Amino acid sequence: MNEDIKEKMKDLSFGICPLMTAQKVLSEKWALIILWLLSEKTMRFNELQRWLSDITQATLAKQLRTMEDNGLVIRTVYSQIPPKVEYSLSELGKEFVLVLEKLEGFGYKYIEHLENKKD
């Protein structure tokens, strides 16, 4: 095995290896879709839940909290009655939009691959 690869394999841990770190931060089931939705516009909790009809309220709350803790999402609370809370991408989260676009492109190509495989 190449010595450079062996050396890199030693550093495959969170906070050291950039790929392992990114994988850990984005490993939640709904993370990519939530980031994609928030890349389109700022959204309230119920609006996100309507778009993600298969997600439970508890799961969405947990995922948003985790993404906020990870610095990808900003939670803005407005002091009014009834309370209003909005979610948007942080500056770090906005940097991920280019990756989302590339993943979407790959997804389309892979779907095409699957359709060609059927023939």
Question: Is residue 72 in some structural domain?
Answer: yes
Percent of the chain scoring above 70 in pLDDT: 89
Q: What is the pLDDT of residue 72?
A: 96
Tell me the mean pLDDT in the region 38-65.
Answer: 95
The answer to the question of residue 5 being in a domain is no
Query: pLDDT-based confidence at 30, cuts 50/70/90?
Result: very high
**Cis bond before residue 82 (omega within 30° of 0):** yes
35 falls within a domain: yes
Instruction: Name the band, by pLDDT with cuts 50, 70 and 90, for residue 8.
Output: low
Q: Could you tell me if 60 and 45 are in contact, meaning their C-beta atoms sit under 8 angstroms apart?
A: yes
Is this model's pTM higher than 0.85 or not? no
**25 in a structural domain:** no
Q: Which domain holds residue 56?
A: 30-118
Angle at 52 between CA 76 and CA 89, to 5 degrees: 30
Residue 21 domain-assigned? no
CATH number of the domain at 75, please. 1.10.10.10
* Total domains in the fold of the chain: 1
Band of pLDDT at residue 27, cut at 50, 70 and 90: confident
> Is 2 a domain residue?
no
pLDDT at position 61 over 80: yes
